[in-house]
Amino acid sequence: MAGSLAARDRRVVITGVGIVAPGGIGTKAFWDTLVEGRTSTRRITLFDASPFRCQIAAECDFDPQLEGLSPKEIRRMDRAAQFAVVAAREALSDSGLDTAGTDRSRMAVSIGNAVGNTMRIEQEYVAISDGGRDWLVDWRYAAPYSYQYLLPSSIVSEVAWASGAEGPAVAVSSGCTSGLDSVGHAVQLIEDGSADIVVAGATDAPLCPMSMACFDAIRATTPRNDAPESGCRPFHRERDGLVLGEGAAVFVCEEYEHAVRRGAQLRAEIIGYANRANAYHMTGLRPDGRELAEAIRAALDQARLDPSEIDYVNAHGSGTKQNDLHETVAVKRSLGQHAYNVPMSSIKSMVGHSLGAIGSIEIAACVMAIEHGVIPPTANLTDQDPACDLDYVPVTAREQDTGVVLSIGSGFGGFQTAIVIAEPGRGAR
Site residues for another protein, 314-343, by CB under 8 A, read: none
The radius of gyration of the chain's CA atoms, rounded to the nearest angstrom, is 20
Count interface residues toward another protein (CB under 8 A): 98
Measured distance CA(295)–CA(275) in Å, rounded: 6
Is 128 a binder of another protein (CB under 8 A)?
yes
Minimum CB distance to another protein, residue 394 (Å): 25
Site string for another protein, 230-259 (x = CB under 8 A): ----------x-------------------
Measured distance CA(323)–CA(221) in Å, rounded: 12
Measured distance CA(390)–CA(214) in Å, rounded: 32
Is 113 a binder of another protein (CB under 8 A)?
yes
Choices 88-96, 174-182, 258-266, 338-346; region in contact with another protein by CB under 8 A: 174-182
Query: Can you tell me whether residue 81 is helix, strand or coil?
Result: helix
Q: Determine whether 125 is exposed, middle or buried from the number of CB atoms within 10 Å of its CB (0-12, 13-18, 19+).
A: middle
Measured distance CA(377)–CA(390) in Å, rounded: 13
Evaluate whether 216 touches 54 at the Cβ level (below 8 Å).
yes
Choices 18-26, 136-144, 387-395, 400-408; region in contact with another protein by CB under 8 A: 136-144
Which of these, 289, 271, 402, lies nearest to 343 by C-alpha position? 402
Q: Which is nearer to another protein, 71 or 263 (CB)?
A: 71
Is 131 a binder of another protein (CB under 8 A)?
yes
Q: How distant, in Å, are the alpha carbons of 228, 268, 427 from that of 313?
A: 26, 16, 18
Minimum CB distance to another protein, residue 356 (Å): 9
Q: Which of 258, 353, 366, 388 is catalytic?
A: 353
| Residues within window 145-164 making contact with another protein, judged by CB under 8 A | 145-154, 156-158, 160-161, 164
Is 170 a binder of another protein (CB under 8 A)?
yes
Q: Which is nearer to another protein, 280 or 340 (CB)?
A: 280
With CB under 8 A as the contact rule, the residue among 30, 52, 83, 256 that binds another protein is 52
Cα within 13 Å of Cα(118), Cβ side: 19
Q: Which of 60, 176, 208, 253 is catalytic?
A: 176
Minimum CB distance to another protein, residue 45 (Å): 18
Query: Can you tell me whether residue 251 is helix, strand or coil?
Result: strand
Q: Which is nearer to another protein, 115 or 344 (CB)?
A: 115
Residue 258 annotated in active site: no
With CB under 8 A as the contact rule, the residue among 16, 116, 228, 231 that binds another protein is 116
Evaluate whether 360 touches 250 at the Cβ level (below 8 Å).
yes
Q: Which of 185, 316, 326, 366 is catalytic?
A: 316
Measured distance CA(128)–CA(391) in Å, rounded: 51
Q: Determine whether 98 is exposed, middle or buried from the number of CB atoms within 10 Å of its CB (0-12, 13-18, 19+).
A: exposed
Is 277 a binder of another protein (CB under 8 A)?
yes
Is 218 a binder of another protein (CB under 8 A)?
yes
**Which residues, 6 or more positions from 418, have their beta carbon under 8 angstroms from its beta carbon?**
180, 272, 273, 274, 275, 292, 295, 296, 298, 299, 300, 406, 407, 408
| Other CB atoms within 10 Å distance of the CB of residue 32 | 13
Is 76 a binder of another protein (CB under 8 A)?
yes
Is 106 a binder of another protein (CB under 8 A)?
no
Is 1 a binder of another protein (CB under 8 A)?
yes
Site string for another protein, 398-427 (x = CB under 8 A): -------------xxxxx------------
Minimum CB distance to another protein, residue 333 (Å): 15
Cα-flanking dihedrals φ and ψ of residue 217, to 5°?
-60, -30
Query: Can you tell me whether residue 25 is helix, strand or coil?
Result: strand
With CB under 8 A as the contact rule, the residue among 42, 185, 348, 353 that binds another protein is 185
Residue 176 annotated in active site: yes
Query: Which residues belong to the active site?
Result: 176, 316, 353
